[in-house]
């Protein structure tokens, strides 16, 4: 690297002789001459950011990350982690995948397009719906896009029904996506961690565009009345949207056969470790809505030699063509996360997916029954079918329990004055017994 001045970015390949030859070809003396920025708005100060070596940065950032307390997380509430097989990291880090962009030139993008097509096919198999797009940003924005889709289908309807236990962050994103298009969001009641069907029925009217339900919901409970809810929705001319995830869908009744019209969720429960909330928005719907769908779609066609070929399709829905009339403003999406989801799902195969989903039922059963034996603890708080997590009721104040457990090395969430949400998956299940012991000590 001695050819290169120390003032240079390590990622610009120009030798001083190159720069000189290029400038001389252009007839300029200095690179500065290529800029004609008016003097009053030139920046002559510095950012005061010292350049560092790779080694220095790794050491420095590792030192910063070490300030995070090494707690064992029993956290879920809509964001879950499972073991990620090494195949996922190694394949997804292949630089052809990692350093490519949107497949505007399909002839040199067949590989990534095929992976996205396989991802879409996976979601189609899991949801039973005919269309899955190749990704949205995350769970919350997928709910927002679903609501907007329902509005394009029924332009005169302006109300979205959501459960009263919906995570506030998802509600906030949904409001931001829809409020400027004239939608109102209304909560419907839940009882014992499931939809209160009787009360819900009264809320349907001819201005409801979509009802949103979750299974597993934010109490970890599986919704038991999806079919009834979708029938109610359809009777009043509304759409039914289900929020879920691909692991749960591996065993749950197929949404399309329950009358669900749109499925959303975070598909990164397969493919990504905990990434401080980063995910990939799952989005699937009936084929009736094909030309109203947001996001990118990969389809199969043929090339000039009559061989199978993959391509982005129906792009006239998208912002780069339709501009202000596009079905969504999304451009850059989460394709690489979808690729990781596809690889993880393929690695597990149908047996592995079903086994992982079974664990998501068995582990909370095991943990809740152990916690339930503790005096002053009621777990789970409601007798539902739970998936990964469940609500625990404690006589002691929930925040006190959270703080005492933290001292013992565990992170859990309080969701009420006397209610905790406890999540257990394959990534923390080896700590179950120690956690139960800690819980016992904290409670007594």
Partner 1 sequence: MSNSPPHYDQAKWTSQSVYEPLLSEKNMTEVSLDGVPLPPNLKRSSLTLPSLSEPELARHYTRLSQMTYGVDSGPYLLGSCTMKYNPKFTEDVAVLPGCSMHPDRAPHTIQGTLEILYTLQEHLATIGGMDAVTLQPPAGAAGEFTGILIIKAFHESNGDFSRNEIIIPESAHGTNPASAALGGYKTIEIPSNEQGTVNIDALQAALSENTAALMLTNPNTLGLFELEIELIASMVHKAGGLLYYDGANLNALLGRSRPRDMGFDIMHYNVHKTFATPHGGGGPGAGPVGVVSKLESFLPAPIVIKTKSGFDLFTPENTIGKVHGFYGNWLCLVKALAYILRLGDRGLLDASAKAVLNANYLGSKIQYEIPFRPFYHEFVASSGDQDAAEVAKRLLDYGVHPPTTKWPLIVPQALLVEPTESENKSTLDQIAASFNAVLTEDQSTLKSAPNSTASARIDQTTAARFPILSWHALDPSL
Which residues ranging from 222 to 241 are in contact with partner 1 (CB under 8 A)?
222, 224
296 touches 171 (CB < 8 A): no
Among the listed ranges 78-86, 153-161, 204-212, 390-398, the one in contact with partner 1 (CB under 8 A) is 78-86
Peptide bond into 166 cis (omega under 30): no
Considering the rule CB under 8 A, would residue 399 count as an interface residue with partner 1? no
d(CA 263, CA 284): 5
SS (H, E, C) 349-383: HHHHHHHHHHHHHHHHHHHHHHHHCCCCEECCCCC
Considering the rule CB under 8 A, would residue 409 count as an interface residue with partner 1? no
d(CA 93, CA 95): 6
DSSP three-state, residue 87: helix
Which position among 155, 277, 376, 416 is part of the footprint of partner 1 (CB under 8 A)? 277
Which position among 199, 300, 373, 430 is part of the footprint of partner 1 (CB under 8 A)? 300
Which position among 185, 203, 411, 436 is part of the footprint of partner 1 (CB under 8 A)? 411
**What is the x/- site pattern for partner 1, positions 359-398, by CB under 8 A?**
--xx----------------------x-------------
Q: Which residues of 29-41 are buried (b: 16+ CB within 10 A; e: fewer)?
A: eeeeeeeeeeeee
Considering the rule CB under 8 A, would residue 62 count as an interface residue with partner 1? yes
DSSP three-state, residue 403: helix
Which position among 351, 375, 383, 417 is part of the footprint of partner 1 (CB under 8 A)? 351
| Nearest-approach distance from CB 337 to partner 1, in angstroms | 6
| Nearest-approach distance from CB 32 to partner 1, in angstroms | 8
d(CA 337, CA 271): 7
Alpha carbon 301 to its chain centroid, in Å, reads 29
Considering the rule CB under 8 A, would residue 329 count as an interface residue with partner 1? yes
- Through-space distance between the first and last CA atoms of the chain, rounded to whole angstroms: 64
Considering the rule CB under 8 A, would residue 94 count as an interface residue with partner 1? yes
Considering the rule CB under 8 A, would residue 105 count as an interface residue with partner 1? yes
Closest CA to 31 of 10, 16, 45: 16
CA distance to 5, 15, 19, 21, 224, per residue, from 2 (Å): 7, 10, 16, 19, 68
CA distance to 67, 386, 387, 392, 418, per residue, from 414 (Å): 23, 18, 18, 9, 8
Considering the rule CB under 8 A, would residue 14 count as an interface residue with partner 1? yes
Which CB atom, from 85 or from 237, has the smaller least distance to partner 1? 85
Considering the rule CB under 8 A, would residue 34 count as an interface residue with partner 1? yes
d(CA 115, CA 342): 7
Residue ranges in 131-150 that form contacts with partner 1 under rule CB under 8 A: 131-132, 134-135, 137-141
Which position among 1, 325, 383, 444 is part of the footprint of partner 1 (CB under 8 A)? 325
Which position among 82, 167, 219, 286 is part of the footprint of partner 1 (CB under 8 A)? 167
Among the listed ranges 57-65, 149-157, 195-203, 229-237, the one in contact with partner 1 (CB under 8 A) is 57-65
Q: How many residues bind partner 1 (CB under 8 A)?
A: 179
Which CB atom, from 349 or from 376, has the smaller least distance to partner 1? 349
240 touches 208 (CB < 8 A): no
Among the listed ranges 85-93, 186-194, 202-210, 429-437, the one in contact with partner 1 (CB under 8 A) is 85-93
| Nearest-approach distance from CB 386 to partner 1, in angstroms | 11
Which position among 16, 83, 98, 369 is part of the footprint of partner 1 (CB under 8 A)? 98
Tokens of 41: 């708005």
Which position among 1, 2, 67, 444 is part of the footprint of partner 1 (CB under 8 A)? 67
Which position among 185, 197, 203, 354 is part of the footprint of partner 1 (CB under 8 A)? 354
123 touches 246 (CB < 8 A): yes
Which position among 166, 240, 282, 297 is part of the footprint of partner 1 (CB under 8 A)? 297
């Amino acid at each position: 690297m001695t050819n290169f001045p120390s003032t240079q970015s390590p990622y610009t390949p120009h030798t001083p002789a190159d720069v000189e030859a290029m400038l001389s070809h252009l007839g300029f003396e200095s690179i500065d001459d290529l800029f004609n920025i008016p003097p009053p708005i030139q920046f002559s100060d510095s950012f005061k950011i010292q350049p560092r070596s790779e080694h220095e940065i790794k050491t420095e950032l590792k030192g910063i990350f070490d300030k995070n307390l090494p707690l064992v997380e029993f956290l879920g509430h809509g964001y879950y982690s499972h073991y990620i097989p090494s195949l996922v990291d190694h394949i997804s880090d292949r630089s052809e995948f990692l350093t490519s962009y949107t497949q505007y030139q399909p002839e040199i993008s067949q590989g990534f397009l095929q992976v996205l097509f396989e991802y879409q096919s996976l979601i189609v198999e899991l949801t039973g719906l005919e269309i899955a797009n190749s990704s949205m940003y995350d769970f919350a924005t997928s709910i927002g896009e679903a609501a907007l889709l329902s509005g394009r289908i029924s332009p005169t309807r302006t109300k979205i029904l959501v459960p009263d236990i919906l995570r506030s962050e998802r509600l906030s994103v949904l409001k931001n996506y829809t409020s400027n298009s004239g939608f109102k969001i209304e909560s419907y009641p839940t009882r014992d961690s499931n939809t209160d069907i009787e009360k819900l029925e009264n809320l349907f009217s001819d201005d409801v565009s979509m009802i949103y339900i979750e299974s597993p919901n934010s109490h970890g409970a599986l919704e038991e009345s999806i079919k009834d809810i979708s029938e109610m929705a359809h009777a009043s001319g509304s759409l039914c949207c289900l929020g879920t995830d691909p692991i749960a869908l591996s065993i749950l009744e197929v949404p399309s056969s329950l009358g669900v019209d749109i499925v959303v969720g975070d598909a990164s429960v397969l493919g990504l470790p905990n990434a401080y909330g980063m995910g990939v928005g799952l989005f699937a719907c009936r084929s009736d809505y094909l030309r109203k769908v947001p996001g990118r779609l990969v389809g199969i066609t043929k090339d000039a030699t009559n061989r199978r070929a993959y391509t982005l399709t129906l792009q006239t829905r998208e912002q780069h063509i339709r501009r202000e009339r596009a079905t969504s403003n999304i451009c850059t999406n989460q394709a690489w996360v979808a690729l990781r989801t596809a690889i993880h799902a393929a690695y597990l195969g149908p047996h592995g997916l079903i086994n992982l989903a079974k664990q998501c039922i068995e582990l909370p059963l095991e943990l809740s029954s152990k916690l339930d034996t503790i005096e002053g603890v009621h777990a789970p708080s409601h007798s539902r079918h739970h998936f990964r997590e469940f609500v625990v009721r404690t006589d002691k104040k929930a925040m006190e329990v959270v703080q005492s457990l933290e001292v013992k090395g565990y992170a859990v969430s309080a969701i009420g004055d006397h209610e905790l949400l406890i999540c257990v998956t394959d990534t923390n299940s080896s700590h179950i017994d120690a956690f139960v012991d800690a819980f016992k000590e904290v409670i007594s």
